[in-house]
Structure 1
Amino acid sequence: MADPIVEIQQGKLRGRVDSDYRGVTFYSFQGIPYAKPPLGKLRFKAPQPPEAWSGIRDATKEGSECYSMHMLLNTIVGSEDCLFLNVYTPELPSHENHPLKPVMVWIHGGGYTSGSGNSDLYGPHYLIAEDVVVVTINYRLGVLGFLCLDDPKLGVPGNAGLKDQVMALKWVQENIKHFGGDPNNVTIFGESAGASSVHFLVVSPMAKGLFHKAIAQSGCCFNTWAWGNVNGKILCDKLQYSTDDESEMLEFLREVPVDKLYSTHLIPADVMRVDLRRPLGPVIEKISPYEPAFLAEDPMDIILQGKHQKVPFLLGYLSREGMLIDVIVPKDRQLITDFEEAIPFNLGIPKGTPLSLKTAEKIKQFYYSDKQPSLDDKDTLYKLQTDNFFFREIYITAKQHASTSSEPVYFYKFCIDGPLNMFKKLLGIDAPGACHADELSYLFKTSIVGGFDPNSYEGKNVLRMIRWWTNFAKYGDPNPRELDNIIDVYWEPIRDNKMNYMEIDYQLKTGEDPDGDRMRFWDEIYSQSIATSNL
């Protein structure tokens, strides 16, 4: 079969033929630039539209990922010229009125400091079998994507990495029809930092009209780890460049080699500390006459005022998200002994105050009772980190969107503990539960766990996941048109203040208010903090 050729606004692309998990052909176009390379004067700036090319561009290989530490290999990968995306389609249009397919745009995780849309983790071979067009994207990470300066005249207000995502969605609107995708039926979906990105896009005025449904897996914009800070001074101090003039900072930072920028270690070692605000990540921008802001208001205010995009929303969490601590935190720093470290910074409780000490003791008593924390009791630590680092804010997000939007909100708890669980397989974790990111191998072909047998019981879990996710992309409802032997339980949206959810396990179950006792405890902690601050 000849290599496929597609012509988009910027020029012609040569792709290649691939096959999905069933052996059915699909078309792959990789390494497509969706923005101008963010180099030189464009370093740290909002992305610019892509440039045209002459001739036929080779789109048979992935483009460079953003300069960062590889999530799995622990080696530096990528470059600054990284604003590429990949398009995978089951069918190319053969005539002007060819029916167009739903589009699913994947936003990768990695804490805003690592990752890419590459197929080593996000192979499209499962989802594409359900007759959708799949797009995966890169965006700028770390300092390159999230440098934030206070002076609006400098044009570096933060959120460049999120603005990259907006530019990618604009590219989809302008070009996806040439690949057989429907620009009027676009679903954004992501995991971890990709999920919080999805939520940021839902509340950002800059992204309005660029998508029509949203899926957030294990993350939201209210998570403590999803926020950064004004950081130019911090970065320059690390590089031993002393100035308080931000224009001088910017001029200096533009010239620093990328490897030296990365060597500043602005990525903290204690990345699972909820009491610390990270230096790198999304921010609320100052309103500026010089350029539009990605986000200029508190997301909760945007939601409560009903100014967010009201689209069908599917979101959820994994039963033991907190196992991530085994992946990214050295063992000697995993155990919490000072429970003031377990008080989220967004509560605004000064450390060492009577309220802080009282709150810390309440958290310890709720999770450990009178036991002393020990690495022999990892499951208690996993539950605390699950709730405090992920679940609490995801739960609040689901409730708030269900109460402020006329569109349905579907909630899930993923509990599958099997051979396709990605991080558990990689690290040999034998404790029960599903670790953060373990659901990815049920949606994507990954290099870590390989493929699956569609006729096996584990294969049934993959088929369920890809059908739910693609049904949602097609219809705004994950349920199949008719229940069958793969999906035999109806998934109710949240309605009438009932936190309906699907428990995704080998045996499907539905219910209300998952882990509600733990959420009521955190409601009490937050209510106490607010009441005290209003005294």
Structure 2
Amino acid sequence: MLSRWVLFPVLFVAASAKPLVVDLGYAQYRGHALSNGVAQWLGIRYAAPPLGSLRFSAPQDPDEVDGIQDASQHGPLCLPINTYPIPADSSEDCLFLDVYAPVGFRGLTLKPLSVFVFIQGGGFNQNGNPYYNGSSLIQASDMGIVIVTFNYRVGPYGFLSGAEIRNDGSVNNGIKDMIQVLKWVQKHIHKFGGDPNHVVLGGDSAGAAAITLLLSAYNGRDDGLFHAAAAESQSFAPMYTVDEAQFAYDNLVIRTDCYNAPDTLACLRSLDTATLQKANIATQLPGAQDPPLYFYAPVIDDDLVPDYTYRMFEEGRFLRVPVIFGDVTNEGTLFTTKNLNSTADAHAFLQDQFPALTQKHLSRIDHYYLRDIHSTKPYPDSTPYWRPTSNAYGELRYICPGIAMSTAFANAGAPSWNYHYSVLDPEDEASGDGVYHVVELNAIWGPENMWWSDTIGSPPPASYFGSNAAIIPVMQGYWTSFIRSFDPNTYRYPGSPRWETWGGGRHGGGRPERLFIRTGETRMESVPRDQRERCEYLISIGVELTQ
């Protein structure tokens, strides 16, 4: 088993590395060209510090600074929820991005390179996948892409809502931070060799949820900020309106003793970061018993986010661009409580995440997932209710939304691919975690390029350095091909099967097919009939559940 250590490959600069200075107008940043052929610029400020009057406000352009700024260290992470004291690597001043590019980008005769902008996950409550090193993906692309990763505001800093915020601030600021990055890319990425007219979004979990929101932003308005998207484990959480989210604002005002202030928002803005962070905790959602896994989330604001995601895509209010959606086999295992002892416990867990679930909904879920509970395979430190409940949660929040998205794009005539990632790791199979949520990130970025700490992420499964190492070039081939050509097949790894579009595979007739990904067994598969039936039901109640 791997020890819990942290990889920082981006921080080690070869002795022969030469500095590269890029002038962004508001600041100059000195990056470094590494011996592996990749240049990197870490910790570039893309927006003004969101402090003081800019707390709970939309991102603003950064101020001009003199001199050349060193770009050899990542910027701090944005402050997570339920974490106090403030971690040493986190700050409210956190709006920074990293750029990775081939060293030879300055050649005047070179064609501009495709751009990959990656939106990390974390449930909109933390920056959950930070500091990934782009070197391996760039090398897998034959030095044909530029990569941008970034931090964005989460928790109340990015998603506090309510009348006061709407009147004298801005809602959905975490999503607006992402748009700020995309505007920065349009203005500056050519200075790193990138093509602003060929930008592909990538994202996992909440980052993939953000992709669906950006695809449907402003009712699907095309602002020319990106041109294709690859979403991993797109997360469909409940969504409130600005007014419905007032309870979270009111709770925060009470916990910070701002409730007696004549201007409660001004009071919140006047608090020092430590005081605000101490009160930054999750409470139960209205109608639930216990706090959800992720408390803060984007809200329906009748502007950037006009409606529920399911309804937006059902009604065709989204951009028609090439897309990839997909999931892992066991989306729910990392999230679901292991000590569930009854059907009532399973219902309570699900209702804590989706308070709009009714007894009618739960009865149908019981039929699909919990009726054969006593035949469930036992796993360590868990009850028989764990895996069936995790299956329900995984399909409700992740897998069925991905199927719905692929279907919406295929029906709209846009190129749409879907995948089922099922690479088996012996230790994870034995523990019951199985092919867990966003584990495919290890294959896309390369396990040696991941980052984790005691509170964020986890080490790559040991098999990705051994028996499953062969899946890495396969995944990187599909992903870099999509980034370069808007098609995962054009530059796919030699010997990899052709990835057919959703509904356009060997059976034809619009039958849904996806790429089944497993070491040595990657192939096209039809979605099983029983999963199609479950997803048809869960998708049909999506708007009722405010997804």
Question: Which TM-score applies when normalising by structure 2?
Answer: 0.81
AA partner of residue 407 (structure 1): A
**Superposition deviation, residue 91 in structure 1:** 3.0
The within-5 A match list for 1:89-488 is: 89-115=101-127, 118-119=130-131, 122-129=132-139, 130=141, 131=143, 132-151=145-164, 154-205=167-218, 208-220=223-235, 222-224=236-238, 229-230=245-246, 231-242=248-259, 248-268=263-283, 279-286=295-302, 293-325=303-335, 331-332=338-339, 337-341=344-348, 342=350, 348=356, 356-369=358-371, 371=373, 375-377=382-384, 378-404=386-412, 406-418=413-425, 424=428, 430-431=431-432, 433-444=434-445, 445-447=449-451, 449=459, 458-481=468-491, 484-485=494-495, 487-488=496-497
CA pair 517-274 structure 1, distance change in 2 beyond 3 A: farther
Q: 1:6 aligns with which of 4, 9, 22?
A: 22
TM-aligned CA deviation for residue 284 of structure 1: 1.0
Letter in 1 for 2:396: N
Equivalent residue number for residue 352 of structure 1: none
d(CA) in 2 for partners of 1:116, 1:526: 27
| Structure 1 SS opposite 2:335 | helix
Q: Displacement, 1:390?
A: 1.7
Match of 2:503 among 490, 494, 506: 494
Indicate how the Cα distance of structure 1 residues 6 and 209 shifts in structure 2: closer, same or farther if over 3 A, else same: same
Note if contact 1:27-1:90 (Cα within 8 Å) is conserved in structure 2.
yes
> What RMSD, in angstroms, separates the aligned Cα atoms of the two structures?
3.5
Aligned CA distance change for structure 1 residues 74 and 437 (closer, same or farther; 3 Å) = farther
Give percent identity, aligned residues only.
25
| Secondary structure of 1:321's aligned partner | coil
What's the secondary structure of 2:110's corresponding residue? coil
Counterparts of 2:463 and 2:531, CA distance in 1: 37
Deviation of 1:123 after TM superposition, in Å, equals 1.8
TM-score (norm 1): 0.82
| Unaligned stretches of 5+ residues in structure 2 | 1-15, 452-457
Measured after TM superposition, the shift of residue 476 of structure 1 is 1.1
Instruction: Compare 73-82 and 197-206 and name the one that shifted more.
Output: 73-82
How many Å separate the matches in 1 of 2:289 and 2:116? 32
Aligned to 1:504: 517
Kept in 1: contact 2:481–2:492 (CA 8 A): no
SS in 2 for 1:391: helix
Distance 1:142 1:527, change over 3 A: closer
What is the rounded CA distance, in whole Å, between the counterparts of 1:320 and 1:226 in structure 2? 27
Provide Cα deviations, 1:229-274, integer angstroms capped at 9, x if missing partner.
333212112334335x9x822111101222232323433589xx89
Q: Could you tell me how far apart the structure 1 residues matched to 2:168 and 2:396 are?
A: 35
Distance (Å, rounded) in 2 between the aligned partners of 1:109 and 1:334: 30
In the alignment, is the contact (CA less than 8 A) between 2:478 and 2:491 conserved in 1? no
Aligned equivalents of 2:37, 2:78: Cα separation in 1: 30
Tell me how far 1:41 sits from its aligned partner: 0.5
* Cα contact 2:340–2:383 (8 A) shared by 1: no
Q: Which amino acid aligns with 1:284?
A: I
Alpha-carbon distance in 1 for matches of 2:341, 2:75: 36
Give the 3 Å change call, closer, same or farther, for CA 198–44 of structure 1 in structure 2: same
Q: How many residues are treated as equivalent by the alignment?
A: 496
Tell me the alpha carbon deviations over residues 344-376 of structure 1, each in whole angstroms, 9 at most, x when there is no partner. 987945xxxxxx334323322332225469834
SS in 2 for 1:64: coil
Question: Which of 43, 46, 49 is equivalent to 1:34?
Answer: 46
- 2:455 maps to none
> Any stretches of 5+ residues in structure 1 without a counterpart?
287-292, 350-355
- Whole-angstrom CA distance in 2 between matches of 1:369 and 1:345: 21
**Distance verdict in 2 for CA 1:4–1:442, change over 3 Å:** same
Assess, with a 3 A threshold, how the Cα gap between structure 1 residues 33 and 530 changes in structure 2: closer, same or farther: closer
| Matched AA of 2:390 | Y
Letter in 2 for 1:467: G
